[in-house]
């Protein structure tokens, strides 16, 4: 694993070149082989000091262009583009450091950073697929993912069959000779459906199908799908990884026997660079900072989600609660096997759209806002917000009801949040 990681992470990046530290036996640094074996919390916090300044925080390179000299020029002419910094759209040292950090925390072999979560999903799919290929995808994915598969990819003759991945027989039945990708989310929105990764990966790999999993709702602190044999993990880093509702970014992380070792480098050049969707250096820097507090933030957010879920389950105004940590959740046992905690996302139903709006609009401490994963608790109404453009019939296939309220728990005190929700629920 290390050979590849060092090539991809350090080849182009003189800033945090771990190869140099590898030979250096001084204290104050974790050598590369030890770093890979650290616990998740330590991996998230640690990266080596900057080689030039010795700053323990990553420097930020706000550069669109990098100076050539005769040697660099020759390297570029010889096709060694990865070994040098050329132009911001092709890559930036701060972005490479984020990729290296994501590789470690996801337990992967390589990572490609992108401008957003949707850029990660698009670059992964368009990087892999050709016209005439077929995808099997869960019915319940992020709305823009569903719409891209259902409408835009069909324009390029890439068809998708939507299935319930909780029913392995329907996944098997949907596979065709030209199926190239099986796609699902570790925790799906808004029913918080948890995918049983091992049987899905086994089935796909028997048929030489690449498994792509969106891990946004779980975050690497809760679930690391590469450990279950998933080939590519796509993630919106705008959510838990950034963690402060102040940055948009994405990542594709890989560990796969089925894809070439340099697959992410190939698609960096043949897809991401051509589409113009690199992660900006300032965003990479914010995400690097976010990763350092990911474990503690998410740990607390999960505890609060559990308290809220238990509270809502006994609430007279709530007809149903969806949270993988509740024994009543359809995939509770699968969640227990795959995740050390159950995530910081939950949904509850208050009957109809009018009641849902009244609840979210009455909240004072929790905010009524799109997105998730930040330090502030955010709420939204999936049917008429994220999934507004999806036809009603498809929404019901996805298990989306009009009265659902989705909650992303932040870092506020759980009892204060319960009081806030109780006051809002009292208004319906
Ligand atoms: N995947 C999931 C599960 C999401 O919820 C989102 C956005 O909400 C995305 C992907 C897209 O991420 P971004 O907004 O960073 O493009």
Q: Which of 194, 232, 239 to mutate to test the pocket of ligand 1 (most atoms within 8 A of CB)?
A: 239
- What does the pLDDT average to over 381-400? 87
Distance, in Å, from the CA atom of 96 to the CA atom of 8, rounded to the nearest integer, reads 9
Dihedral over alpha carbons 25, 27, 31, 34 (to 10 degrees): 120
Q: Is 410 in the pocket of ligand 1 (CB under 6 A)?
A: no
Give the pLDDT of residue 25: 53
The pairing of beta strand 232-236 with beta strand 250-254: antiparallel
DSSP class of residue 82 equals G
Q: Which atom of ligand 1 is nearest to the CA of 370?
A: 8
Q: 241 or 79: whose pLDDT is higher? A: 241
Burial class (CB in 10 A: 0-12, 13-18, 19+), 39: exposed
Q: Is 187 in the pocket of ligand 1 (CB under 6 A)?
A: no
Burial class (CB in 10 A: 0-12, 13-18, 19+), 30: middle
Helices (H), 38-175: 40-45, 70-77, 93-106, 117-128, 143-147, 168-174
Cα dist from 397 to 141, 162, 351, whole Å: 11, 10, 18
Q: Assess contact for 18 and 48: CB atoms under 8 A.
A: yes
Task: Give domain limits for the chain.
Answer: 295-425
Q: Is 116 in the pocket of ligand 1 (CB under 6 A)?
A: yes
Q: Which atom of ligand 1 is nearest to the CA of 217?
A: 3
- What does the pLDDT average to over 288-308? 98
- What does the pLDDT average to over 196-212? 98
- What does the pLDDT average to over 26-54? 90
Residue burial 397-423, b: 16+ Cβ < 10 Å; e: rest: ebbbbbbbbbbbbbebebeebbebbee
Q: Which of 138, 142, 243 to mutate to test the pocket of ligand 1 (most atoms within 8 A of CB)?
A: 142
Q: Which atom of ligand 1 is nearest to the CA of 118?
A: 16
CATH of domain 295-425: 3.90.1150.10
Sign of CA dihedral 160, 164, 165, 168: negative
pLDDT bin (cut points 50, 70, 90) of residue 282 is very high
Helices (H), 314-352: 332-338
Give the pLDDT of residue 341: 94
Q: Assess contact for 216 and 235: CB atoms under 8 A.
A: yes
Q: Which atom of ligand 1 is nearest to the CA of 188?
A: 3
Contacts of 42 (CB under 8 A, 6+ apart): none
Q: Is 326 left (phi over 0), alpha (psi -120 to 50) or beta?
A: beta
> Distance between alpha carbon 34 and the CA centroid of its chain, in Å?
25
| pLDDT tens digit sequence for 337-388 | 999 899 999 999 999 999 999 999 999 999 999 899 999 999 999 998 888 8
Q: Is 142 in the pocket of ligand 1 (CB under 6 A)?
A: yes
- What does the pLDDT average to over 281-295? 98
Read off φ and ψ for residue 138, nearest 5 degrees.
-65, 150
Give the pLDDT of residue 4: 33
Give the pLDDT of residue 26: 65
Residue 408 Cα, ligand 1 centroid: separation in angstroms? 13
3-state secondary structure 352-376: CHHHHHHHHHHCCCCEECCCCCCCC
Q: Is 141 in the pocket of ligand 1 (CB under 6 A)?
A: no
Q: Which atom of ligand 1 is nearest to the CA of 120?
A: 16
pLDDT bin (cut points 50, 70, 90) of residue 11 is very low
Q: Is 118 in the pocket of ligand 1 (CB under 6 A)?
A: yes
pLDDT bin (cut points 50, 70, 90) of residue 23 is very low
Q: Is 380 in the pocket of ligand 1 (CB under 6 A)?
A: no
Give the pLDDT of residue 330: 96
């Amino acid at each position: 694993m290390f050979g590849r990681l060092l090539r991809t992470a350090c080849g182009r990046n003189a800033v945090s070149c771990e190869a140099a530290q590898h030979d250096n036996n001084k204290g104050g640094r974790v050598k590369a082989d030890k770093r890979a074996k650290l616990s998740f919390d330590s991996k998230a916090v640690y990266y080596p000091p900057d080689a030039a300044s010795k700053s323990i925080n990553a420097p930020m390179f706000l550069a669109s262009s990098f100076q050539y000299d005769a040697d660099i020029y020759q390297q570029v002419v010889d096709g060694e583009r990865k070994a040098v910094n050329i132009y911001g759209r092709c890559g930036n040292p701060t972005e490479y450091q984020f990729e290296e950090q994501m590789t470690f925390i996801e337990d992967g072999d390589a990572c490609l950073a992108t401008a957003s979560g949707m850029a990660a999903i698009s670059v992964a799919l368009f990087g892999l697929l050709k016209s005439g290929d077929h995808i099997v995808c869960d019915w319940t994915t992020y709305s823009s993912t569903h719409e891209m598969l259902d409408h835009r990819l069909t324009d390029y003759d890439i068809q998708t069959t939507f299935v319930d991945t909780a029913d392995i027989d329907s996944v098997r039945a949907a596979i065709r000779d030209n199926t190239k990708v099986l796609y699902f989310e570790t925790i799906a929105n808004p029913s918080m459906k948890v995918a049983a990764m091992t049987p899905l990966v086994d089935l796909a790999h028997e048929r030489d199908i690449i498994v792509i999993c969106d891990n946004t709702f779980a975050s690497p602190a809760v679930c690391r799908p590469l450990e279950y044999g998933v080939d590519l993990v796509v993630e919106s880093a705008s959510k838990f990884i950034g963690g402060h509702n102040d940055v948009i970014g994405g990542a594709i992380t890989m560990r796969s026997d089925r894809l070439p070792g340099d697959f992410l480098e190939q698609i960096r050049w043949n897809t991401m660079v051509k589409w113009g969707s690199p992660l900006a250096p300032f965003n990479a820097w914010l995400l690097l900072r976010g990763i350092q507090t990911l474990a503690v933030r998410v740990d607390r957010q999960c505890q609060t989600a559990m308290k809220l879920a238990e509270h809502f389950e006994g609430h007279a105004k709530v007809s149903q609660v969806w949270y993988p940590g509740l024994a009543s959740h359809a995939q509770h046992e699968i969640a227990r096997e795959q995740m050390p905690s159950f995530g910081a996302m939950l949904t509850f139903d208050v009957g109809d759209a009018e009641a849902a709006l009244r609840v979210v609009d009455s909240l004072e401490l929790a905010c009524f806002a799109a997105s998730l994963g930040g330090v502030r608790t955010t709420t939204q109404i999936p049917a008429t917000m994220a999934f507004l453009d999806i036809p009603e019939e498809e929404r019901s296939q996805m298990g989306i009801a009009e009265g659902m309220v989705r909650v992303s728990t932040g870092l506020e005190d759980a009892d204060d949040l319960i009081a806030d929700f109780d006051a809002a629920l009292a208004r319906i």
